[in-house]
């Protein structure tokens, strides 16, 4: 009786009550999980399957209601792939925008560098002409 209630609680806690998802993850038929919820026992092979997929599950709690459901206080859940994909797209978009801004800044810097080169050349030419004019007038 304890096992079936705890299996139901475990599915609710880990998969938000989604028996099909729980079944898929541990590699058994949906009807098998339904049988566990209605039965009073579960095979050691099936317990191993649950423990392999959900390593934080406390098997003592599952079969004897001893201790906490999960061995760790916080459980890292499988990442939400849709959210992960959305974050990746946003990061790539941000990188693209930043790259575009950096290209614009780089173009401005190149223009400034060219203007500095022209100014240096102008100053060098001016100083040379001024020296020549100064020597002629002496």
Where are the chain's structural domains? Answer: 2-64, 79-138
Pull the structure tokens for residue 2.
């304890």
What pLDDT does residue 80 have? 52
pLDDT at residue 103 tops 60: yes
For residue 14, how many other CB atoms are within 10 A of its CB? 22
Each residue's pLDDT tens digit, 1-48: 577 788 889 888 889 989 999 999 999 888 888 888 887 667 778 888
pTM for the model stands at 0.49
What pLDDT does residue 63 have? 79
Q: 2, exposed or middle or buried, with CB in 10 Å at 0-12, 13-18, 19+?
A: middle
- Measuring CA to CA, which residue among 67, 23, 65 is closest to residue 46? 23
Note whether 36 and 30 are within 8 A (CB). no
The CATH architecture one would assign to domain 2-64 is Orthogonal Bundle (1.10)
């Amino acid at each position: 009786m304890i096992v079936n209630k705890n299996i139901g609680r475990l599915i609710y806690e880990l998969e938000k009550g989604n028996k099909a998802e729980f079944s898929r993850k541990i590699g058994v038929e949906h009807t098998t999980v339904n049988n566990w919820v209605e039965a009073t026992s579960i095979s050691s092979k099936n317990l191993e399957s649950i423990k392999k997929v959900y390593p934080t599950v406390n098997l003592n709690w599952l079969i004897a209601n001893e201790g906490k459901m999960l061995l760790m206080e916080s459980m890292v859940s499988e990442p939400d792939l849709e959210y992960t994909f959305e974050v990746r797209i946003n990061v790539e978009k941000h990188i693209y925008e930043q790259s575009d801004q950096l290209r614009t800044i780089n173009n401005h810097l190149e223009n400034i560098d060219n203007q500095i080169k022209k100014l240096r050349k102008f100053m060098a030419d001016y100083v040379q002409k001024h020296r020549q004019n100064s020597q002629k007038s002496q």
